[in-house]
Amino acid sequence: MAIPARKSRKKAIGGARFTGSIRVFPDAIQLPRLGRLRLKEHGYFPLGGKISSATIHEQAGRWFVSICVHEEKEASQPATGDVIGVDLGIKRLATLSDGRTFENPKALRKKITALKRLSRRQSRKAKGSRNRQKAKQRLSRMHARIANVRNDALHQATAQIVARTKPDAERPRVIVLEDLHIAGMLKNRRLSRAIADVGMYEFKRQILYKAEQAGVKVLLASRWEPSSKTCSCCGWINEALALSDRVFVCLECGNVQDRDANAANNLAALAQ
């Protein structure tokens, strides 16, 4: 006979999935067994369409709900705009071949001192005490805020690059990204925190699904492509270019250009 496992009342289930009769209102949602729940934010859920399921989950003391809606959607027309090369970096989030740049919010770097302080406060509280629980909530809210700042910057950048709401001629027909080996880059102990703070994999994921919805093609360049070391004007390769060199100087044609802008132009040339 198996002994029942002890279940703590202090540990929540974290989330649940509901199916059945689910109704959505402008300011509320009605779920089975829970009834009608008021929504803090309005205007996000579609009022029409067939709802198959709803999922609730808790994060840093706040509860969120997401619904699965089946809708008929027309396929997007293929975009006919210019080719765009995107170079990801640490100093700047992304540099585009058309001259646009997106700054890196550096969410973790700006809050690392406060994060360490809250972590120390939690570790100094007695285990099982109410004060330790409150310190844990403060630490969770800080982690959630850092993640939200990073995700907001990524969504803003990827939305402007894909330009899903613009006409076909203003959307890029091809977006060229580097197929970076992010797991290998994170093994660099001196840059791992800064690389993780950028969210490069999430940037790539958002570009892929948004481009598919907007009729934009995405080309992934090889991770071995020397886009940063190659001159975008004449094709000369500077094998001695170091990571600390932020300006690319061509010794063949005399081209002087920002390192990231030069790499973005080389990526865009791969789709021609």
Task: Indicate if the pLDDT at residue 8 is higher than 90.
Answer: no
CA distance 258 to 269: 17
Burial of 264 (0-12, 13-18, 19+ CB in 10 A): buried
**Inter-residue contact 59 to 65 (CB < 8 Å):** no
- Residue 174 belongs to some domain of the structure: yes
Residue found under tokens 């779920």? 31
Q: Is residue 152 part of a domain?
A: yes
Q: Is residue 115 part of a domain?
A: yes
Say if residue 57 is in the same domain as residue 110.
no
260 is catalytic: yes
Q: Looking at the 3D structure of the chain, how many domains does it have?
A: 2
Of the pLDDT bands very low, low, confident and very high (cuts 50, 70, 90), residue 245 is confident
Q: What is the pLDDT of residue 10?
A: 65
The per-residue pLDDT for range 140-189, each reduced to its tens digit, is 999 999 999 999 999 999 999 999 889 888 999 999 999 999 999 999 88
Average pLDDT over every residue of 53-65:
91
Q: What is the pLDDT of residue 262?
A: 92
Check residue 13 and give its pLDDT.
67
Looking at 27, 72, 82, 87, which residue is catalytic? Answer: 87
27 is catalytic: no
Query: Based on the domain organization, do 46 and 112 belong to the same domain?
Result: no
pLDDT for the residue 176: 95
Q: What percent of the chain has pLDDT over 70?
A: 98
Active-site residue flag, 87: yes
The pTM (predicted TM-score) of the whole model is: 0.86
> Within this chain, do residues 33 and 100 fall inside the same structural domain, yes or no?
no
- Inter-residue contact 248 to 257 (CB < 8 Å): yes
* Selected catalytic residue, list 98, 168, 178, 239: 178
Q: Tell me the average pLDDT across 36-46.
A: 88
Could you give the angle at the alpha carbon of 230 between the alpha carbons of 228 and 234, nearest 5°? 145
What are 101-155's pLDDT values in tens digits?
A: 999 999 999 999 999 999 999 999 999 899 999 999 999 999 999 999 999 999 9
pLDDT above 90 covers a percentage of the chain that reads 60
State the residue range of the domain holding 29. Answer: 15-70
Inform me whether the pLDDT recorded for 39 exceeds 80.
Answer: yes
Average pLDDT rounded to a whole number, residues 71-90 = 88
Q: Are residues 96 and 63 in the same domain?
A: no
Q: Is there a domain that residue 38 lies in?
A: yes
pLDDT recorded at residue 88: 94
- Edge-to-edge strand list for the sheet holding 35-38: 23-24, 28-31, 35-38
pLDDT band at 50 (very low <50, low <70, confident <90, very high): confident
CA distances from 217 to 69, 77, 94, 179, 221 (A): 26, 12, 18, 15, 13
pLDDT at 85: 95
Q: How confident is the model at residue 72 (pLDDT cuts 50, 70, 90)?
A: confident
Contacts of 194 (CB under 8 A, 6+ apart): 90, 109
Same domain, 33 and 93: no
Q: Is residue 4 part of a domain?
A: no
Task: Give pLDDT tens digits for 211-240.
Answer: 999 999 999 999 898 888 899 888 888 888
Judged by phi (left if over 0) then psi (alpha if -120 to 50, else beta), residue 153 lies in: alpha
> Looking at the structure, do residues 127 and 201 belong to the same domain, yes or no?
yes
Say if residue 194 is in the same domain as residue 225: yes
User: In terms of domains, do 150 and 55 share one?
Assistant: no
95 and 27 in one domain? no
- Domain co-membership, 176 together with 45: no
In this structure, are 92 and 207 located in the same domain? yes
pLDDT tens string 252-267: 888 899 999 999 999 9
For the cut 80, the answer to whether the pLDDT of residue 9 exceeds it is no
Residues 148 and 225 in one domain: yes
Domain termination site, one of 37, 70, 103 = 70
